[in-house]
Amino acid sequence: MKGRGKHPDRALTAVQIRNLKQPGRYADGNGLYVVVDPSGAKRWLLRVVVRGRRRDIGLGGLSLVSLSEARETAQSYRKLARRGGDPLDEKRKQRRDIPTFAQAAEQVHAEHKPSWRNDKHARQWINTLQQYVLPLMGGIPVDRVETPDILRVLAPIWLTKPETARRVRQRIGTVLDWAKAAGFRTGDNPISGVGKGLPKQTGQDDHHAALPYTDVPEFMQRLRGSDAGEMTRLAFEFLVLTASRTSEVREARWSEFSETERLWTVPAERMKSGRAHRVPLSHRCLEILKRAKALGGGSAFVFPGRSRDKPMSNMVFLMLLRRMNQAITAHGFRSSFRDWAAETTSLPREVAEMALAHAVENKVEAAYRRGDLLEKRRQLMEHWAHFVAGEVEANEAERASKP
């Protein structure tokens, strides 16, 4: 929620910016923000009204643009917009070196490589683009890439190599998101519309059909604005935020939660693995629980069904997705979470696997691993909550910068 009262003006200092760790958007004032990505990268964003329309203009990364330089550029763009000009047009005139998609992909790879968990994943990331994408659209200026270009890339492999196609789609989206943040593109990411032109992947397991993780924030906005009951919306959001199985969420009882420890302990008898599973709760999860308790009428279940003494029906989630015209499953959001963790965070693989309560396949490794990496998982789930919700509101800057 946006704060009330006076808008910030020169609210940030260089020290505060260096100390920003939590993913989100932090206000300096007059439409200028520092954006902290889930990967830890920081960049400048200017929000300005141009000819009656709000525009988001990337001003570059903090490693290249200082606080004073960002303020100076932002001021000049605001003045230009007030005179009826378009800062983006001016920016293009001043800088005609719009990179091709291939150049942008190489830049994104170089910037993200230090945060990826190992060299193998870094090589796979760029290799898939070099093999499937660059031969078809590598030479297109990144500001001119549109949905039909992406469709030509994905169509030949969409049915024959569905898993590869899904990863290619996500990585194209990542490159185009970077291009917008860097000021090379405006408008929505064309990756969001490509699904309408692709056939259903009948060869994949429909039971676990999943959204690409890049589409999850948009889905969450639609969920919150849907006509489903509030308890249903809360339960589904809680499922996504905790990356849990549907039965674990539907049958959750208040006795399993510790508000002081911000922890949900799912008992062994309700877990597929047969072992109790501890789930660290993000701040948004705590908000959901507070509201669910107010709506629950004293039920022992966190998300009761029509009868307070019974849990919510599994059909509730299925019907919600149908009404939203989504050919996916609730379970599929676990895959979305897993792909997001692999693509955008530097935490070890086993942290995400434990967040999903997956068993350790290597028996020797399992014998030596006694802990459940709770604190690392707590950090991971908080980052996931910020990603799912989009960027935090700007007036959180001062509070987030304090120890």
- Token reading at 314: 């599994």
Question: Over the range 10-41, which residues count as b (16 or more CB within 10 Å of their CB) and which as e?
Answer: ebbeeebbeebeebbbbbbbbbbbbbbbbbeb
CATH of the domain at 171: 1.10.150.130
Residue 164: predicted pLDDT: 85
Q: Is residue 29, in this structure, part of any structural domain at all?
A: yes
Residue that is last in its domain, among 71, 94, 117: 94
Residue that is last in its domain, among 330, 346, 362: 346
Shared domain check, 119 and 198: yes
Nearest-angstrom CA–CA distance, 166 and 338: 13
pLDDT (tens digit, 0 to 9) for every residue of the chain, 403 residues total?
Answer: 344 555 677 889 989 998 888 888 899 998 999 998 877 788 899 998 888 888 888 888 887 788 999 999 899 888 988 888 887 776 665 555 789 999 999 999 988 877 665 677 778 889 999 999 999 999 999 988 999 999 999 999 888 888 788 889 989 988 998 888 887 887 778 887 787 778 776 544 444 578 888 889 989 988 988 888 999 999 999 999 999 999 999 999 999 999 899 999 999 999 988 889 999 999 999 999 999 999 998 999 999 988 888 999 878 998 899 888 887 889 889 989 988 888 788 777 788 888 998 765 544 344 434 467 889 999 999 999 999 987 533 333 333 333 3
**What global pTM score does this model have?**
0.55
E strand or H helix at 180, and its extent? helix 162-181
Shared domain check, 340 and 217: yes
Give the tens place of pLDDT for each residue, 363-387. 434 443 446 788 999 999 999 999 9
Q: Is residue 139, in this structure, part of any structural domain at all?
A: yes
Question: Over the range 206-235, which residues count as b (16 or more CB within 10 Å of their CB) and which as e?
Answer: eeebbbbbbbbeebbeebeeeebeebbbbb
Residue that is last in its domain, among 157, 174, 203: 203
CATH of the domain at 341: 1.10.443.10
Q: Is residue 51, in this structure, part of any structural domain at all?
A: yes
Shared domain check, 269 and 239: yes
Shared domain check, 70 and 40: yes
What is the distance between the terminal CA atoms of the chain, rounded to a whole angstrom? 22
Q: Is residue 269, in this structure, part of any structural domain at all?
A: yes
DSSP state of 347: S
Task: Indicate the number of domains in the chain.
Answer: 3
Q: Is residue 7, in this structure, part of any structural domain at all?
A: no
Type of residue found at 30: N
Give the tens place of pLDDT for each residue, 314-348. 789 988 998 888 878 898 899 899 888 887 887 77
Q: Is residue 371, in this structure, part of any structural domain at all?
A: no
- Token reading at 54: 């709000």
Nearest-angstrom CA–CA distance, 384 and 120: 23
Dihedral Cα 243, 244, 246, 247, nearest 10 deg: 180
Domain of residue 81 covers 14-94
Q: Is residue 6, in this structure, part of any structural domain at all?
A: no
Shared domain check, 72 and 181: no
E strand or H helix at 43, and its extent? strand 42-50
Q: Report DSSP letters for 224-237, one per residue.
A: HTSSS-HHHHHHHH
Shared domain check, 217 and 195: no
SS3 state at 301 = strand
Pick the closest to residue 273 from 353, 339, 346 (CA basis): 353
Are the CB atoms for 305 and 234 separated by under 8 Å?
Answer: no
Q: Is residue 351, in this structure, part of any structural domain at all?
A: no
